[in-house]
Amino acid sequence: QEYTAIKMKVLEWSDAAKAELESKLGGRDVFLVAATLRPETMYGQTNCFVGTAIKYGVFAVNDKEAYLCTYRAARNMAFQGALTPRGEVKQLTEIDGTKIVGTRIKAPFAINPEVYVLPMDNVLPTKGTGVVTSVPSDSPDDFQTLTDLRKKPEFYKIKAEWAAIDPVPVISTPTYGDMTAPAIVKQLKIQSQKDTKQLAEAKEIAYKEGFYNGTMLVGEFKGEAVADAKQKVREQMIAANDAFAYAEPEGLIVSRSA
């Protein structure tokens, strides 16, 4: 699986993360790294998600930068040459997902360039980096989770203002208009992020509709088909040093190398 790894620079740590991390970073800038299959949607990021039951590591990239992601992802990155020296994982420290919530980060290429880290129930520790950038206009999981958080901020232990950015229209599809994910969530009568079966179906529909029938509404490739813009946005993000290629070994190879 070939992902695009998005570098989201930490602008201000949550109080819990600040207390725990600041002395351990050796002055490095830290980036939360999110794995996405949809670089063309990055204009519509409204927040970022971490798993509350997941332990994250902070890994040195070099003397100046560090990445926050799962250990498993850092190991893959090291072998792919995204960490130096190649093949070596230098872990600076580790931290619980819950403590990162409330951190303010930079969302590259997004129309809202500064967003907050929020909690999500369904982040898989075994996929991508364990960090998910959130595009509620085009990802049903993201839209439903953001909706849940807004309904019950105290329950989820967040400040309402962290979830204040509304979904941003970035892609138009003939069947669902310019808010594909909310429209599909409504059509399938999804009520909460716990409706995982319907959300998986919604994701499948949203992927197909966006890729085959979507048109860009914003950005440099406005008016172009998503299928054409996808690779171009990816290349721009990589050229800007806001992203890098991240591949995930599949099936048997995962369990062998994990």
Separation CA 47–CA 163 (nearest Å): 7
Q: Which is nearer to ligand ZZB, 28 or 96 (CB)?
A: 96
**Contacting positions for ligand ZZB (CB under 6 A):** 35-38, 41, 122-124, 127-128, 130, 132-133, 135, 138-139, 203, 206-207
Q: Which is nearer to ligand ZZB, 122 or 236 (CB)?
A: 122
Q: Which is nearer to ligand ZZB, 84 or 236 (CB)?
A: 236
Least distance from ligand ZZB to the Cβ atom of residue 173, Å: 11
Least distance from ligand ZZB to the Cβ atom of residue 125, Å: 7
Q: Which is nearer to ligand ZZB, 5 or 17 (CB)?
A: 5
Least distance from ligand ZZB to the Cβ atom of residue 145, Å: 10
Q: Which is nearer to ligand ZZB, 123 or 179 (CB)?
A: 123
Least distance from ligand ZZB to the Cβ atom of residue 20, Å: 22
Least distance from ligand ZZB to the Cβ atom of residue 59, Å: 17
Q: Which is nearer to ligand ZZB, 97 or 102 (CB)?
A: 97
Least distance from ligand ZZB to the Cβ atom of residue 250, Å: 10
